[in-house]
Structures are given as structure tokens and as C-alpha cells.
């Protein structure tokens, strides 16, 4: 007998659907329990137990949706990385992306691991990492600049040179390019409380790290207050500007306005720390950035508004 609409047992079909939904509900409860337990073991440093819980999830039936499997592989990657097994961590991240190639946490963590390996290989001496969370953003929006000749980049706030070194290693590879780095190398108000010796040694670490790139001749270091230095730089010169200096709203706004005239038409500007901690209203970078975006709205194209803001200059004059 054929299964036509007239002879289908709808009651039996409804029971089957209900039974399957119950199976999925029970599976999801079990998965949540094992996932929560795995996270707890991970936080307690019991990595082997965490791995066992996450691996169990991969074997449940019916199988999880691909995105959920990607999340499990991602958790496994974090655990084995803590165990010091970088190769296995990389494999798990790759498996996560095989399940869902758009899964951003896995893409970022894989980029971070590759970046960390490069930092170790060059023996850079960085004491802070405020940069690696930006890797996917920079890889996307600076890709058109890679290897191009006659580029001029400007960085407002360099600290120990993490971003500068990344640019020299990955983007500014042609012999004809240059990057101007503006910093007081004295920290700002938001860094009060840091050890004086540490602050005083920032510039020396910047110099050392830049030397290790093998491209120090491309770097022009200008020590001074950005609001003074930027007024001395040539107009319509820079293809890319990175603003990561003072976090006081008024300073951010002034830096942005001064950089506007320095940026070439169609050039790219990135603001850092749009999500800077809001505990202290004196360092609400978003206030200064938003003011600039509002005033220059008709002259810019916002490419990204996340923890960093990426804009393109589309009009130089009214």
C-alpha cells in the first residue's frame, strides 16, 4: 500500500515525532550537563577530566548540529592548549572550522596560536598583549595593502611595538614603505599604578622589538605628545592610520580630527578600544570616537563597528 495522504496513520506519525522530540530534548540536557562539567573541570585545572567530558559529547546520538560540534572542538582546543599540546590544539581548531567555517572564536584562536608561534620565533619581548584579539580584523581590512609599494602608515600610540611589528612582518614588506610611530613612551593616566621602572623601559623594548623585525629602516619613531606631533606631519600622506593613544575622550577626538587631514582619500583608519572598560568615565574612548563619527558622517564609510572601529575616508573636502 502506498503512503498517500489518505492512508497515512497520522496518530502514529504524531507519536513518532513526539518520541523523537523527547530524544532530542534528553540528548540536549545530557550535552549541557557534560559541557558544564567539562567547563568546571577546565576552570579547576583538571584538564584530563575536561577532555573526557567534551569527547563524550562528540559521541552522543543523534549527533549535534555542526555549529554545536564546532563549539565542542573549540573547547577541546582550549583545554589541550593549557596542557601544552599546541599541535593537538591546532588540529581541534581545524576540526571546528571543518564543522563550521564561519565560527569566529575558532578562527581567532587559530590566528592567535600562529601569531604566538611567530612572536616566539622572533624572540620579541612583549609584556602585554592588547593586540591579538584584533588579528581577524586586521587580516581582513589590511589585506589589500600586503606587499604594496610606496605605502605610508601612521600609528598613534605604539607601546612595545606589537602592532608595528605585525605590520612590518605581514603587511609592510616592500622596501619602499614606511611607518611613523608617535608615542610619549611614558604611559597615560590610565596606567597610573604601574611600576615606574616598567614604564621607563617601554621605549627600550619598542626599539629592541623593532630591531628584531629586520625592518627598522622603515620605521620613523617620533617621541612626543600626539596633539603636538600630528600638527607637524604632512597632509594627505598616509594610506593607513591606527589611533591607539590616550583613552581620554577629548584626546581621542583631537587625535582623530588631526589625523583626518593626514589620511589620504580612500585611506583606512582604525580606532582601538571602542569597548574600553567603562569603570572610569574619564577613559570612555567610545565618547570621543562617536563624536568623530557623528561629525564626519558624510565623509566616511564605516566598515566595522566592533571592539575596534574601521572607517574609510571617502571625501577629503566638502
Domain co-membership, 82 together with 138: no
pLDDT, tens digit (0-9, with 9 covering 90-100), for 153-178: 999 999 999 999 999 999 999 999 99
Q: Which of the two residues, 193 and 175, has the higher pLDDT score? A: 175
pLDDT, tens digit (0-9, with 9 covering 90-100), for 234-252: 999 999 999 999 889 999 9
- Please tell me the total count of domains within the chain: 2
- The whole-number average pLDDT for the span 204-229 is 97
Range of the structural domain that residue 288 is part of? 132-313
Residue 62: cis peptide before it, omega within 30 degrees of 0: yes
| Percent over 70 (pLDDT), the chain | 88
CA 279 – CA 141 distance, rounded (Å): 30
- The whole-number average pLDDT for the span 72-82 is 95
Domain co-membership, 108 together with 181: no
pLDDT, tens digit (0-9, with 9 covering 90-100), for 111-131: 999 999 999 999 999 998 989
Q: Which of the residue ranges 85-89, 170-174, 198-202 would you say has the lowest mean pLDDT?
A: 198-202
User: In which band, very low, low, confident or very high, does the pLDDT at 29 lie, cut at 50, 70 and 90?
Assistant: confident
pLDDT given for residue 8 in this prediction: 57
| Percent over 90 (pLDDT), the chain | 75
User: In which band, very low, low, confident or very high, does the pLDDT at 27 lie, cut at 50, 70 and 90?
Assistant: confident
pLDDT given for residue 1 in this prediction: 43
pLDDT given for residue 298 in this prediction: 95
Domain final residue, candidates 70, 94, 122: 122
pLDDT at 280 over 70: no
The reported pTM is 0.86
Domain final residue, candidates 63, 95, 122: 122
Q: Answer whether residue 318 is part of any domain.
A: no
Domain co-membership, 91 together with 162: no
Domain co-membership, 102 together with 195: no
Q: Answer whether residue 292 is part of any domain.
A: yes
Q: What is the CATH number of the domain that holds 147?
A: 3.40.50.150
pLDDT given for residue 31 in this prediction: 87
pLDDT given for residue 61 in this prediction: 81
pLDDT, tens digit (0-9, with 9 covering 90-100), for 1-12: 455 555 655 455
pLDDT at 17 over 80: no
pLDDT, the chain, mean: 90
pLDDT given for residue 38 in this prediction: 93
Amino acid at each position: 500500500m502506498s503512503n498517500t495522504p489518505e492512508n497515512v496513520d497520522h496518530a502514529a506519525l504524531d507519536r513518532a515525532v513526539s518520541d523523537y522530540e523527547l530524544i532530542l530534548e534528553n540528548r540536549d540536557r545530557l550535552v549541557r550537563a557534560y559541557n558544564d562539567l567539562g567547563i568546571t573541570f577546565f576552570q579547576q585545572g583538571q584538564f584530563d577530566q575536561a577532555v573526557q567530558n567534551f569527547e563524550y559529547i562528540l559521541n552522543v546520538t543523534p549527533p549535534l548540529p555542526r555549529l554545536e560540534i564546532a563549539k565542542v572542538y573549540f573547547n577541546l582546543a582550549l583545554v589541550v592548549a593549557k596542557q601544552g599540546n599546541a599541535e593537538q590544539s591546532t588540529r581541534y581548531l581545524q576540526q571546528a572550522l571543518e564543522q563550521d567555517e564561519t565560527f569566529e572564536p575558532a578562527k581567532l584562536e587559530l590566528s592567535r596560536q600562529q601569531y604566538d608561534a611567530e612572536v616566539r620565533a622572533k624572540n620579541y619581548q612583549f609584556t602585554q598583549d592588547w593586540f591579538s584579539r584584533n588579528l581577524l580584523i586586521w587580516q581582513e581590512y589590511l589585506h589589500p595593502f600586503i606587499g604594496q609599494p610606496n605605502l605610508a602608515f601612521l600609528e598613534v600610540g605604539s607601546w612595545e611595538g606589537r602592532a608595528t611589528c605585525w605590520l612590518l612582518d605581514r603587511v609592510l614588506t616592500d622596501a619602499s614603505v614606511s611607518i611613523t610611530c608617535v608615542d610619549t613612551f611614558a604611559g597615560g593616566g590610565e596606567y597610573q599604578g604601574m611600576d615606574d621602572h616598567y614604564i621607563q623601559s617601554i621605549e627600550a623594548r619598542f626599539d629592541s622589538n623593532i630591531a628584531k623585525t629586520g625592518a627598522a629602516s622603515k620605521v620613523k619613531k617620533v617621541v612626543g605628545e600626539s596633539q603636538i606631533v600630528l600638527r607637524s606631519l604632512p597632509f594627505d600622506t598616509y594610506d593607513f592610520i591606527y589611533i591607539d593613544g590616550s583613552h581620554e575622550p577629548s584626546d581621542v577626538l583631537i587625535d582623530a580630527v588631526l589625523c583626518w587631514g593626514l589620511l589620504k582619500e580612500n585611506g583606512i583608519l582604525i580606532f582601538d578600544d571602542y569597548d574600553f572598560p567603562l569603570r572610569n568615565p574619564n577613559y570612555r574612548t567610545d565618547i570621543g570616537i562617536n563624536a568623530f563619527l557623528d561629525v564626519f558622517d558624510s565623509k566616511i564609510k564605516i566598515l566595522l563597528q566592533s571592539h575596534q572601529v574601521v572607517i574609510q575616508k571617502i571625501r577629503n573636502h566638502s
